[in-house]
């Protein structure tokens, strides 16, 4: 009985360079970081929005003023969350990820 032969390897079986291996690992971790930060900010946004003030026993002018104050509070609150996301994701992780992805996909294959 003959021993079975293994099929020949397909493509390049050489070990990838250091930057390729760690670049892919870093991009995967950065993607997880972006997803975690995005989900946590979204959950926080949905669970803790400023509540409407009570309208009991208020005159129409007081109601209008209370709604204006609430609108301004909500705008400032949303802007603060946007600034946090901008700081944690857009200005820190995305430039590095873009650099690594440009290298990984743009380098010349021999």
Buried b (16+ CB within 10 A) or exposed e, 90-110: eeebeeebeebeeeeeeeeee
The pLDDT of residue 3 is above 80:
no
- If you write DSSP's letter for every residue of 47-61 in order, what string do you get? HSPPPPPP-TT--HH
Per the listing, tokens 């929005």 go with: 49
Domain range summary for the chain, segments of one domain joined by + = 59-105
pTM across the whole model: 0.68
Residue pLDDT, tens place only, 24-82: 899 999 999 999 999 999 999 889 888 888 888 889 999 999 999 999 999 999 999 99
Average pLDDT for 3-20: 76
The reported pLDDT for the residue numbered 106 is 83
If phi over 0 gives left and psi between -120 and 50 gives alpha, with beta otherwise, what is residue 100? alpha
């Amino acid at each position: 009985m003959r021993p079975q032969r293994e099929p020949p390897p397909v493509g390049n079986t050489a070990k990838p360079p250091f930057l390729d291996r760690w670049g892919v690992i870093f991009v995967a971790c950065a993607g997880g970081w972006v997803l975690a930060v995005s989900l946590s900010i979204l959950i926080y946004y949905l669970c803790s929005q400023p509540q409407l003030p009570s309208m009991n026993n208020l005159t129409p002018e007081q109601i209008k003023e209370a709604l204006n104050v609430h609108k301004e509070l909500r705008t400032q609150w949303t802007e603060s969350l946007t600034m946090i996301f901008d700081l944690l994701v857009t200005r820190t992780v995305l430039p590095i990820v873009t650099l690594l992805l440009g290298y990984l996909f743009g380098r010349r294959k021999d």
